[in-house]
Amino acid sequence: MREEITRQKKEVEKNMNEGKKLFGKYNELCLLVLGFLLTGIVGTYINNRFQYKTWERQKKEVLLSTQTEIATKLFENVSDLMHERMYATWQIVFAFEDTLKFNKYEREKRWDTYKEVLRKWNMNRGFNREMLRFYFGNTTYQTERNIHYDFRFIGQILECIKNNSRYSMIDSVRTISNQLNKTITGFNINAIKLIHTGKIGESKEISNGIKKDRKEFECKN
């Protein structure tokens, strides 16, 4: 009799313990299945997250590579135009400095070359400026502007010299041209640095740049 009571008591305790479990007598099996499901879900999420980050990194690398190629070609084009215009300017300076060595025909020939370079510069400048602003930022954009107006100022002086035979003014052109040449060198170095560090296009630095006052030369007769 006592053994029967003990057995029933244990049976009741067993049922009570199973009742406390989340899934009753199938608790272990259900927890095992649930563990597999959670592991699969979490594993899938982690894998998808890793693949997304990998895709994002590859996307950025491809974008940077493409923008680097475009920015490099843009820089080379703008730099070539600057040096071509500077070279044409110095050819005029040399011709005006030595009017005995360079006769009127030679001076006119160099002047025609200078005007052709100027035409090429003006035709490309609008597009190049907007591309510089997008790929290199406002600092490079403003530097190009300052270079343009220094070139323009020099051109105004050269026009005055040519039309009025004011050859004594050529020293002013030489001084301004030497300073401008340093500015162009700084422009080139900065652009190369931005390309090599990847700070171009979507990754360019945000800055305003220094906008110099426009200089106008008045030719007095």
Residue 174 belongs to a domain with what CATH number?
Answer: 1.20.120
pLDDT the model gives residue 18? 46
For 3, 97, 158, 217, 221, the CA distances from 172, given in Å and listed in that order, are 123, 12, 10, 12, 17
Query: Would you place residue 12 in the very low, low, confident or very high pLDDT band (cuts 50, 70, 90)?
Result: very low
**Cα 48 from chain centroid (whole Å):** 32
**In a domain? residue 153:** yes
Q: Render pLDDT for 157-198 as a digit per residue (tens, 0 to 9).
A: 999 998 888 888 899 999 999 999 999 999 999 999 999 998
Is 98's pLDDT higher than 90? no
- Asked if the structure places residue 120 within a domain, the reply is yes
Could you tell me which residues come within 8 angstroms of residue 147 by beta carbon, excluding any fewer than 6 positions away? 82, 180, 183, 184, 187
- How many domains are contained in the chain? 1
Please determine, for residue 54, whether its predicted confidence score (pLDDT) is greater than 60.
Answer: yes
* For residue 28, pLDDT beyond 80: no
CA-based torsion, 159, 162, 164, 167: positive or negative: positive
The answer to whether residue 99 scores a pLDDT higher than 90 is: no
Q: Is the residue at 175 inside a domain?
A: yes
Residue 127 lies in a domain: yes
State the pLDDT at residue 44: 66
CB 149 within 8 A of CB 125: no
Any domain includes 32: no
Q: Please state, for a pLDDT cut of 70, what percent of the chain lies above it.
A: 72
- Which has the higher per-residue pLDDT, 43 or 19? 43
DSSP 26: G
Whether residue 219 is predicted with pLDDT greater than 90 in this model: the reply is no
Question: Closest Cα to residue 143, out of 208, 76, 196?
Answer: 208
- Asked whether residue 98 is assigned to any structural domain, the reply reads yes
Residue 176 lies in a domain: yes
Boundaries of domain holding 141? 73-203
- Write down the pLDDT at residue 9: 47
Has residue 80 been placed in a domain?
Answer: yes
